[in-house]
Every structure is written in structure tokens, then in C-alpha cells.
Amino acid sequence: MSANDRRQFLKTTAVGALASAAASRSVFAQPADATASASASAAAAASSPSAHPPKVTRILAEFIVRTGYQDLPAPARTEGVRTLMNWVGVAVGGSHDETVNRAVAALTPFSGPPQANLLGRTERFDIMNAAFINGVSSHIFDYDDTHLKTIIHPAGPVVSAILAYSQYRPVTGQDFLNALVLGVETELRIGNAVYPNHYDVGWHITGTCGVFGSAAAIGKLMGLTVVQMVWALGLAASQPVGLRESFGSMNKSFNPGRAAANGIFAALLAQQDYTSSDGMIEAKRGWANTISTKQDYREITEGLGSHYESTLNTYKPFACGIVIHPALDAAIQLRNQYHLQADQIERIDLRVHPLVIELTGKKTPQIGLEGKFSIYHAVAIAVIDGAAGEKQFSDAKVRDPQTVALREKVNTIVDPSIKPEQVDMTITLKDGRKLHKYIQHAIGSTEVPMTNQQLDKKFSDLAEGTLSPDRTRKLIDICWHVEQLQNAADIARAALPS
């Protein structure tokens, strides 16, 4: 087939697909009774392993393309703003970490036009590399947002991408927030469909699902058609990134950054009618079947447009793996209640879910990054400092003799009856007293969420040393009022160092 013939074939195929899409009645364009019927059919197909799966790639594409800012319920908008606030704070806070410095040094010679800022820094990169580096910066402290049902950190892949793009093609604050919510919704619903099996075999779900969120959000800002959005999601499916073996190294933060850049790549190609399969998520040899033994497509289709998974996003009060947070909450509460000193303690016993040891069982961390995945270090430092922010996970803190001595007194007992979000802690003192604390839901969970004031304080602490107090306050105000912005790029400009 000649090049001209091939171009004509692809053009004909695209036109045919568009005509087919126009001819078929969309789930979102039907009256309520028809929509309910379509959802019921999709649910029935998803629940039967022998049935043909629902066309979830197209269903998602239609939802993304046809959902505007005014369609978002108030709780989704509110949580979208909180998601932005938290992400900007952690991205600024991580902007001068050694990991980011190395990424900047590696990519500077090869970056394209200076299209977008790096938050908290003076360098400018092309949008794909800027999205990557800001994604790394936002995840390096392990202090970013978390969807507790899947352990996805949703903002990194999505906000890193759309903030870079908004500096290249101006968008309003309302359009920016709409893209953010839709991108997060896309990655979380796809994650729900394959979790926990997909995660259990070793995939870093933030990277593997985050690429869909990035592609969806960028595609929305580009104004892709339904067919082009199908292709963008398909091209995203071809770029899963991230393995759990990377946890405790710089590689972990690479994953959301790469997912952000890969999503932009997918959307840019789709905008130029670069085709993909129409069923890349659900097809027999597509994404879900290839990288997971679980495929529950009802998690993608049910309640789409009425229930928003993004409203379940949470924000970390502690700068480490989320499964450690109940133990940190318990340790800090006991420390403060009884005015504990490390030299009073004989032993600390924790009853924890098996996942806690699987993810954070490093007994002798040597560097700060490893400390974030050590429940032993985390509990010890929480008792000593009464805090677990980024400063408590430095190399110096991990190696401090007092911390090392106390972490050797921390003992874990795996108890499957304890849920991942719970902990049962007993501290035995040298005078024989036993202090007990059971945490049902830790601070920062959906049941005990961080307040807006706590997010402000977290943001200010992270920005200290990078932005002046006045600039920090201005940036916080801009984030809280993103919906009023005429140009969302104001966020990036306000994040330039003082």
C-alpha cells in the first residue's frame, strides 16, 4: 500500500468511525430511562465473565468530551480545588530535592522550547518535560494526595500535565478545574476496575492509571472529539509505567511524572488523528486483560456522571507511605497525651494489616527515602519529634542514634483482622505502664479529612525556604480561587521563587 493510499485508508476509517459514533445514541445523550437501561446492560456485561465486555473506552470518551464545568456537582468542584491546593504545595516543596536537580540536569540539554515553568524554580522547559519534572517534584516527598480505595496518587499525573499545557495554550480557571476533575475521575475509575490484583502483582498503579487521567484532561482542554478521545485513551493504554520494586528510590517519583508526559503525548497524537483501537481498555488483548487478573468494568460505568470518585480524594498529614499513617497518628497522640520521652520506652508493639509490612517493612533504612517506607523509623521519629513531615524523613534523621535505638524497640504483629487503615498500638514503659491506642481512621482519611486550614499550614511549611511568605500567601489564594482565574497559567507564574 502506498503512502497516499494508506493516508486515504486512515482518513476513510476515521470518517467511518465518526459517522458510526454519530449514528449510535450515546449513553449520555439518552433520556433517563434509556440511560438507566444502558447502564444496566453494561453492568450485566461486566459481571459475566463469558459476556462481551461493555465498550468502556468509548463510554469514558463520551463522558469526558460531553461533561462541562457546569455539569460538575459542587462536591466534585470543591474537592478538585483542594486537590489542586495540595498538589501545588507538595510540588513547590519538592522542587529543590536532589531527585529534581538530577532530572533537570539530565534533561536540560535536550529540552525543546521554553514553554512552561518548573514550580519553585527559574528554569523553563517544553511542556512534556515540564510536566514530567513537576510530576517528579510533587511525588518525591510521598506527601501527595491519595485515593484510599486504590492507593492512586491522582493529582501528580493530571495536574502536572494540565498546568504545563495551560502555559502553552491559555485556558480559564473553570476549564482548568473541569479538566482536572475529569482526568482524576478517569484514572480512579479505571484503577477501581483492576485493583487490588493489578497492584498486587507489582504495578505502581499511580503510573499505570495516571496516564489515562493525563490523556483525558489534556484531551479535554484540546477539545478532542469523541473518536479522538477514544484514540487518546488507547494511546495512553499503550504506555503503562511504574513498578513497585522502585519504592524507596528516586524511580518511584519518576512514575507519576512519566505518566503526565505520556498522557500529553497520547493526546497530541490523537489530536492529529493518530489512531488506536476503539477498545484498548477492555479488549481481549487490551490494557485491563493484559496487566490484571481482575476486570470489573462496572467500576468504570456505574454512576458515571452522577457519582464522582474524585470526591473521595484524601491529603496526607504525614510525608510517607499512606499505610503508616494510622501508626503515626497513634504514636503522636500517645506522645502528646503522656508527654513521652524516648528513654522512657521499653518497647512499642503494633498490630497491623499484612500490607503494612509488605509496603513499609524496611527495618534498617539508610537514607530518608527508605525511611518513608519503614514503619519502624516512622513510629520512632513520631514519638521523638511529635511530627512526621518532610524534615522527619531526612537522611540525618534516619541515621540519628536516638532514632535508630528507638526503632529497634518497635515490633510489628501481622493481624489480618486489622484493616489497612487501622492500627492497634501498645507502648510499654520502663516503669511497667502500658499505654494503648487503637486507630479506626487516621487523620487525613475520608472519615477524618484534613481541613482547609490544615492544608494551608501544610502548604506554607512546604514552601518555606523556596517562596517568600508573601508570595506563598498569594499562591495559596490563587489556588483557592482557581475558578475565578481568566488564565490558569497564573498558578505557575505565582510559583516562581522569590
Please state, in angstroms and rounded to a whole number, the distance separating the CA atoms of residues 109 and 96.
19
Quick one: pLDDT at residue 248? Answer: 87
Q: What are phi and psi of 188, to 5 degrees?
A: -70, -40
Q: What are phi and psi of 51, to 5 degrees?
A: -80, 160
- Looking at the DSSP assignment, which residues form a beta bridge with residue 436? 426
Cell of 273: 488523528
Quick one: pLDDT at residue 15? Answer: 35
Q: Are 203 and 151 in contact (CB under 8 A)?
A: no
* pLDDT tens digit sequence for 233-277: 999 999 999 999 999 899 999 999 999 999 999 999 999 999 999
Quick one: pLDDT at residue 478? Answer: 98
Please state, in angstroms and rounded to a whole number, the distance separating the CA atoms of residues 99 and 80.
27
* pLDDT tens digit sequence for 11-45: 333 434 333 333 333 333 333 333 334 444 444 44
Please state, in angstroms and rounded to a whole number, the distance separating the CA atoms of residues 175 and 392.
38
Kindly state the percentage of the chain with pLDDT values over 90.
89
Quick one: pLDDT at residue 12? Answer: 38
Alpha carbon distance, N-terminus to C-terminus of the chain: 58
459: DSSP letter? H
In this prediction, the residues of the chain whose per-residue pLDDT falls under 70 are: 1-51
Quick one: pLDDT at residue 120? Answer: 98
Q: pTM higher than 0.95 for the full model?
A: no
Q: Are 311 and 266 in contact (CB under 8 A)?
A: no
Pairing of strands 410-414, 313-314: unpaired
E strand or H helix at 211, and its extent?
helix 205-222
Q: Indicate if the alpha-carbon torsion angle 257, 258, 259, 264 is positive or negative.
A: positive
Q: Are 102 and 250 in contact (CB under 8 A)?
A: yes
Quick one: pLDDT at residue 415? Answer: 97
Quick one: pLDDT at residue 10? Answer: 37
Residue with cell 486507630: 439
Contacts of 401 (CB under 8 A, 6+ apart): none
Domains and CATH numbers, the chain: 32-314 (1.10.4100.10), 322-439 (3.30.1330.120)
Quick one: pLDDT at residue 51? Answer: 64
* C-alpha pair distances (Å), 76 with each of 80, 139, 423: 6, 23, 30
Please state, in angstroms and rounded to a whole number, the distance separating the CA atoms of residues 275 and 227.
9
